[in-house]
Amino acid sequence: MAKLAVIAIGGNSLIRDNDHQTVEDQYDAVCETAKHIIGMIDQGYDVIVTHGNGPQVGFILRRSEIANEMAGMHNVPLVSCGADTQGAIGYQIQQAMDNEFRRRGMGKSALTLITQVVVDSNDPAFAKPTKPIGSFYTEEQAKKIQKENPDWVMVSDSGRGYRRVVASPKPQEIVEKDVINKLVREGYCVVAVGGGGIPVVKQADGSLKGVDAVIDKDFASSLLAAQIQADELIISTGVPKVYLNYGKPEEKALDKVTVGELKEYVKQNHFAPGSMLPKIQAVIAFMENGGKKAIITNPESLAEAVAGKTGTHVYQ
Ligand SMILES: Nc1ncnc2c1ncn2[C@@H]1O[C@H](COP(=O)(O)OP(=O)(O)O)[C@@H](O)[C@H]1O
Ligand SMILES: NC(=O)OP(=O)(O)O
């Protein structure tokens, strides 16, 4: 029987560097990633592909703001920018997967599901933005931008530059989880929970309403994986493995690690907040909610990682 994996692709891992940020560059990265995901499917996996949107949602929001400042165009609310990324990135992944399925005569197809994710309107995250979006800026650029936009909150993003941050409430419920579960178990490759899902709150009468925020896609993917009892949560990001003392001379790769050991390493501050820490927290949450195994690796190592040859493997 096929194993069911939720595989979460980082928004940053779809953008190779500052010189490769166009939609076409991103599609090239998506096509590469699709080949690696198919390398997993070949090994007997059914997959739900989830993806980030940090850079992309920030680009769309900034375009809207500039169009508003320069041409008086209406602003696009952040929640709609997030929904736009779900469609645009989902379209690219769906097309790339389908082209590859067809090329290899695999008789499978991919489809993208608009996914809403319920958050708590009283989540303290609304008062304390933490989710980096959009471009990376140098310290000098960040100071200038902050002066021009006093309402922005900017932080240093894991030593990679300065970025604008927005509210990132915790996901509580994946609204479309039953249909996602049904479709993947029928054999579709389902693209869902894009950008962590479109954040919505439940109103008194039970109706849903969008809110301006960006949900962490690793937390949302972890919740989805636990709720549909996926066998594995796989997080695909910019590094082949997780490291202790990352970026220091005594850096050490983690090959196999237990949840208990990971919790100890979190206490020892081995994982940067805003980048690796949320991934580790998402993996711990999945494992504590009944998950059997999680892997963290980069897109090009996916097939080798599920074969046990690389990546960081997390066990109970
Ligand atoms: N301990 C660590 N081990 C490995 N990578 C780390 C660690 N701490 C921070 N990182 C950084 O976190 C990055 C992943 O976070 P990020 O780029 O924000 O994710 P995403 O791929 O979801 O966009 C890695 O590429 C690496 O630069
Ligand atoms: N929404 C989200 O978590 O995006 P990134 O993976 O790009 O940070």
Interface ipTM: 0.97
Q: Active site includes 293? A: no
Half-sphere exposure of 63 (CA within 13 A, CB side): 8
Going by C-alpha positions, the residue among 193, 196, 171, 197 that lies closest to residue 180 is 193
Which ligand lies nearest to the CA atom of residue 220 in the structure? Answer: 2
Q: How do the pLDDT tens digits run along the chain, 316 residues long? A: 789 999 999 877 788 777 788 999 999 999 999 999 999 999 999 999 999 999 999 999 999 999 999 999 999 999 999 999 999 999 999 999 999 999 999 999 999 999 999 999 999 999 999 999 999 999 999 999 999 999 999 998 777 789 999 999 999 999 999 999 999 999 999 999 999 999 999 999 999 999 999 999 999 999 999 999 999 999 999 899 999 999 899 999 999 999 999 999 999 999 988 789 999 999 999 999 999 999 999 999 999 999 999 999 999 9
Going by C-alpha positions, the residue among 235, 252, 246 that lies closest to residue 271 is 246
Interval between CA 25 and ligand 2 midpoint (Å)? 18
pTM of the model: 0.96
Going by C-alpha positions, the residue among 7, 73, 97 that lies closest to residue 298 is 7
Going by C-alpha positions, the residue among 5, 8, 27 that lies closest to residue 298 is 8
Which residues have a Cβ under 8 Å from the Cβ of 91 and sit 6 or more positions away?
A: 112
**In the structure encoding, which two tokens stand for residue 105, read together?**
């005569």
Taking phi over 0 as left and psi of -120 to 50 as alpha, with beta for the rest, 110 belongs to: beta
Q: Active site includes 131? A: yes
Ligand 2 nearest atom to the CA of residue 11, by list position: 7
Interval between CA 139 and ligand 2 midpoint (Å)? 22
The amino acid at 208: L
What pLDDT sits at residue 8?
Answer: 98
Ligand 2 nearest atom to the CA of residue 214, by list position: 1
Residue spans of alpha helices (H) in 149-214: 177-185
What pLDDT sits at residue 120?
Answer: 98
Ligand 2 nearest atom to the CA of residue 220, by list position: 3
Interval between CA 10 and ligand 1 midpoint (Å)? 9
| C-alpha dist (Å) from residue 264 to 91, 246, 249, 280, 295 | 40, 16, 21, 11, 18
Interval between CA 108 and ligand 2 midpoint (Å)? 27
The residue contributing the CA closest to ligand 2 atom 8 is 54
Residue spans of alpha helices (H) in the chain: 23-41, 54-71, 78-103, 139-148, 177-185, 217-227, 259-267, 276-288, 302-306
| Interatomic CA distance for residues 11 and 52, integer angstroms | 4
Q: Are the C-beta atoms of residues 93 and 51 closer than 8 Å to each other?
A: yes
Q: For the segment 185-196, what is each residue's pLDDT rounded down to a tens digit? A: 999 999 999 999
Q: Which of 58, 134, 217, 291 is catalytic?
A: 217
Residues with C-beta less than 6 Å from any ligand 2 atom: 10-12, 52-54, 195-196, 214, 216-217
Q: For the segment 59-95, what is each residue's pLDDT rounded down to a tens digit? A: 999 999 999 999 999 999 999 999 999 999 999 999 9
Interval between CA 151 and ligand 1 midpoint (Å)? 27
Q: Are the C-beta atoms of residues 274 and 208 closer than 8 Å to each other?
A: no
What pLDDT sits at residue 12?
Answer: 77
> CB 136: neighbour CB atoms within 10 A?
17
The amino acid at 297: T
What pLDDT sits at residue 209?
Answer: 98
13 Cβ closer than 6 Å to some ligand 1 atom: yes
The amino acid at 115: T
10 Cβ closer than 6 Å to some ligand 1 atom: yes
